[in-house]
A = this chain, B = another copy of it.
């Protein structure tokens, strides 16, 4: 089976948006252009490369990726179903920004579900599992600034909490919510919150060490809710303007394809 590699990009309209895109095997191995595009766009959106409500022009995207509009459209449909973009028929597709309450509710769901997962996992914890958590805590401390590396480590801790829950479906549902809201949570991420989060992790760990699992679950729930509060606090500031595109930025002129 021949390895499909995408042709070099033609247009530079979106160059900046996708430059941070990880061209790892995960992306390259996709079998169809549509799959590749869906990944690329999803990654870019999760990465915060697009402002809320920003318009996605099919022709521009097609030119950028040097493909026809068909796979672009299919990829956009997929993202639409995932809730990342919104399509207004015959009109346009925009990056769908979540409202504050949507974000907060999503975080609420995480809090409830993750707390449940922890309780479910806790009764099966082994010494190795706890060691692993300790290890991750230590590693997290080494990361001094808020960036992708910290996000990954942070999530590693959470995943480790649920490793023994024997609930892969719930975990992946939770993980998806996490990915969906991370781009918003990120904007509130200051160094202070970084430190706070690390402390909360450690407190959860301590409760687990003492086999006080219901307390650990409560702490975890609080920990997650703190993110929600941070988002709400930031967004309710009067001078807060979500990084969002204007309703209808004058359309550029792009030759139809």
Chain A residues engaging chain B, CB cutoff 8 angstroms: 31-32, 34-35, 70, 73-75, 77-82, 89-90, 101-102, 105-106, 108-109, 112-113, 116, 167-170, 173
Contact = CB atoms under 8 A, between A and B. Distances in A.
Nearest to A31: B89
Contact of A78 (B31, B81, B101, B169): B81
Contact of A169 (B32, B102, B168): B102
Nearest to A108: B170
Nearest to A104: B169
A117 to B, nearest CB: 9
Contacts of A70: 70
A116 B106 contact: no
B105 A167 contact: yes
B32 A90 contact: yes
Contact of A77 (B74, B90, B106, B170): B74
> Which 9 A/B pairs are nearest by Cβ-Cβ distance?
A81-B81, A31-B89, A105-B169, A78-B81, A77-B77, A112-B116, A74-B77, A77-B78, A102-B169
Contacts of A75: 77
Nearest to A30: B89
Given A74-B74, A77-B78, A113-B113, A167 B89 contact: no
Contacts of A109: 113, 169-170, 173
18 contacts: A31-B89, A32-B90, A34-B77, A74-B74, A74-B77, A77-B77, A77-B81, A78-B80, A79-B81, A80-B81, A101-B169, A105-B168, A105-B170, A109-B113, A109-B173, A112-B112, A112-B116, A113-B113
Contacts of A113: 109, 112-113
A74 B90 CA distance: 15
A184 to B, nearest CB: 14
A32 B34 CA distance: 21
Contacts of A112: 112-113, 116
Nearest to A88: B31
A35 B105 contact: no
A89 B32 contact: yes
Given A32-B89, A35-B89, A78-B78, 15 more contacts: A31-B89, A31-B90, A70-B70, A74-B74, A75-B77, A77-B77, A79-B81, A81-B81, A101-B169, A102-B169, A105-B168, A109-B113, A112-B113, A112-B116, A113-B113
